[in-house]
Structure 1
Amino acid sequence: MDIRQLSYFVAVYEQGSVSAAARQCCVAQPSLSAALRQLEQELGVTLFIRLPKGVTPTEDGEKLYGHAGRLLSQLQSLKASFSEPVARVKFRLGLIRALGVERMSQLLREFSNSVPGLELHLVEPDEPCDARIITPQLLKAGEAFAPIWHDNYLLALPPGAPLSLQQQIALEDFEQLPLIKRTPCDAWNTLYPELVRRGIKADIRADIQTIEYALGLVSAGVGCALVPNFDSLLQRQDIVLRPVAQLRLQREIGLAYAKNQDSASLAVLRQLCQPAR
């Protein structure tokens, strides 16, 4: 086992795709795949389940990710300790919830690697900060907004649910449908008023905040929940995802910052956000 193999493993884990990880690591895909196979052979485990679209980590893969991340971070710290000291650059970034672990991890890693001496603080979006990743609805006066991602929402259903046999879910199907309410959620703010207007009463089983808990309840068969169409969710086998007909359940995510603010670190972050659109 070597650092190169662990770096490739972390890239595949965070990208959810061998080809995307190869592009990120600037290496040929066969070489990366060979290194990953060698790592699995040395550990005697399977780290990823290969799917038609990408990969998903096994339990052993999840376990290794925590160890690998800490090891690579320690290695970076070790190298930095022998480098010329650089001035610390503090940057406070406000984040709303449910942004997607994979894409946010990649963006924050690239930001940290691109600004020497960066001391990144992740805070709630309503706290004082240098920039925020938010929806346009949370934009404040005097802020500029640069779009990054555009998410569509799907309805997550337990496997075997009768509605999972349908290709899409009609609004009438929500009548007495066991539903996990998640707030704050842009899709819920669109769906719920429309259900009320039509006199459709869903069976609210829980009111929670995080996507992870919502998906856990869906997988357990407690109810259904609206979730963004993250690539990692599309690959899960313990839930079924279906679009909701008659409504556009969408959200826009972007970088917000004060129009009169000008700093080198913010310029780097703005540049990094552009390719993610």
Structure 2
Amino acid sequence: MDKRQLTAFIRVFEERNITRAAQQLSLTQPALSATIKALEEELSISLFIRKSRGVDVTEDARVLYPHARRMIDDMSGLVSRFRKRQDKLPLHIGIEEDIASSFLTDLLAKTSQDASGMLLTLLPGCTGDVRLGCDNLRCEDELFFPLYEESYVLAYPVGHALGQTEELLPEELHHQTWVMAPEHESHQRFLPFYGHSADKPGAHAGNFSLALDLVEAGFGITIAPDCLVQLRCALASRPLPGYPMMRRIGICYAAQSLANPAVEQLLDSLGK
């Protein structure tokens, strides 16, 4: 029993006339009759009684009809559901490491109403049609659409003596044990805070999140983006002494990615 047989049965049942049913299905009368006969043989029942004008339906046909209608409706619903999903514009967004979840949540909230026609895929790292990342880490040929500004702060364990100091001077940091990320682009910017302690680190980390893990474990203090520190209950923070240091978070994308309508739609929804 397949969709073709059920559709033929439903049309004949509703029309009570094989000729009209065949015309509506774009079939010849013999082809329609053969389809009905195959269904009857499969179910081992009779569905229609031929008359001089049209057909009569049997009791078995009356029982089958609502089930057949439901089965056809279910099939059509499945086709529509998956076809609609396939018709969506695919958009892959890479999420760079050390981006706080609050930024991603806000980005998705801003675009959710305009994303109904997109099939959105989130991927970790430097990949995708566009990326949610830091301005300083974009590739040379990439464009940048700024969304957020975030301060760098001093991060240390709760109860650390740095939290008791009312006015913190840069020189006081030169005697601290530091967790550093020497391979990170920010390292050179932080050297004035390290002072001579830069030669005697407490530990090294590959990114801010790992540096904060080390701080929680007691390896020293570090400098990290404010939103990442706020996620850590065991850590406290305070502004860096002197002029505030910031980073910009936004959408990194190559000019050629604008050929993807979903990228253009995303940027438009963000107010490009």
The amino acid that maps onto 1:172 is: E
Taking structure 2 as the reference length, what is the TM-score of the superposition? 0.57
Q: Distance in 1 between matches of 2:78 and 2:102?
A: 26
**Which of 239, 243, 251 does residue 243 from structure 1 map onto?**
239
Kindly report the root-mean-square deviation, in angstroms, between the aligned alpha carbons of the 2 structures.
Answer: 3.4
Taking structure 1 as the reference length, what is the TM-score of the superposition? 0.57
Paired position in structure 1 for 2:266: 269
Cα offset, 1:104, TM superposition: 0.9
Cα offset, 1:156, TM superposition: 0.8
Cα offset, 1:109, TM superposition: 6.2
Please tell me whether the aligned partners of residues 136 and 254 of structure 1 are also in contact (alpha carbons under 8 angstroms): yes
CA 195–241 in structure 1, closer or farther in 2 if over 3 Å, else same? closer
Please tell me whether the aligned partners of residues 133 and 256 of structure 1 are also in contact (alpha carbons under 8 angstroms): yes
- After TM superposition, list the pairs within 5 Å mapping 1:109-188 onto structure 2: 111=111, 114-125=115-126, 127=127, 129-167=128-166, 169-182=168-181, 185-188=184-187
Which has the greater radius of gyration?
2
Q: Which moved more, 1:110-119 or 1:163-172?
A: 110-119
Please tell me whether the aligned partners of residues 144 and 256 of structure 1 are also in contact (alpha carbons under 8 angstroms): yes
CA 274–178 in structure 1, closer or farther in 2 if over 3 Å, else same? farther
2:202 is paired with a residue whose SS is strand
Q: Which moved more, 1:167-176 or 1:90-99?
A: 167-176
Please tell me whether the aligned partners of residues 153 and 187 of structure 1 are also in contact (alpha carbons under 8 angstroms): no
Corresponding position: 1:254 with 2:250: yes
1:178 is paired with a residue whose SS is coil
Cα offset, 1:172, TM superposition: 1.4
1:245 is paired with a residue whose SS is coil
Cα offset, 1:257, TM superposition: 2.0
* C-alpha distance after superposition, 1:80-121 (max 9, x if no partner): 998463225332323321110122134246646614350414
Q: Distance in 1 between matches of 2:79 and 2:162?
A: 57
The amino acid that maps onto 1:85 is: R
* C-alpha distance after superposition, 1:34-66 (max 9, x if no partner): xxxxxxxxxxxxxxxxxxxxxxxxxxxxxxxxx
Corresponding position: 1:219 with 2:210: no
* C-alpha distance after superposition, 1:209-234 (max 9, x if no partner): 3444333332333211212121x744
Q: Distance in 1 between matches of 2:196 and 2:211?
A: 25
Please tell me whether the aligned partners of residues 169 and 243 of structure 1 are also in contact (alpha carbons under 8 angstroms): no
Please list every run of 5 or more consecutive structure 1 residues that lacks an aligned counterpart in the other structure: 1-78
Please tell me whether the aligned partners of residues 89 and 118 of structure 2 are also in contact (alpha carbons under 8 angstroms): yes
Paired position in structure 2 for 1:100: 100
Please tell me whether the aligned partners of residues 107 and 272 of structure 1 are also in contact (alpha carbons under 8 angstroms): no
Q: Which moved more, 1:82-91 or 1:169-178?
A: 82-91
Corresponding position: 1:89 with 2:89: yes
CA 216–266 in structure 1, closer or farther in 2 if over 3 Å, else same? same
More helix, by proportion:
2
CA 183–130 in structure 1, closer or farther in 2 if over 3 Å, else same? farther
* C-alpha distance after superposition, 1:152-188 (max 9, x if no partner): 1111111222221124543212224121113654543
Q: Distance in 1 between matches of 2:78 and 2:108?
A: 19
Cα offset, 1:272, TM superposition: 4.4
Q: Distance in 2 between matches of 1:242 and 1:80?
A: 55
Cα offset, 1:195, TM superposition: 4.9
Q: Give aligned pairs, total.
A: 192
Stretches (4+) displaced over 6 A: 79-82
Q: Distance in 2 between matches of 1:270 and 1:191?
A: 33
CA 201–131 in structure 1, closer or farther in 2 if over 3 Å, else same? closer
The amino acid that maps onto 2:123 is: L
Q: Distance in 2 between matches of 1:111 and 1:203?
A: 46
CA 81–214 in structure 1, closer or farther in 2 if over 3 Å, else same? farther
Q: Distance in 2 between matches of 1:216 and 1:141?
A: 31
Please tell me whether the aligned partners of residues 88 and 118 of structure 2 are also in contact (alpha carbons under 8 angstroms): yes
Please list every run of 5 or more consecutive structure 2 residues that lacks an aligned counterpart in the other structure: 1-76
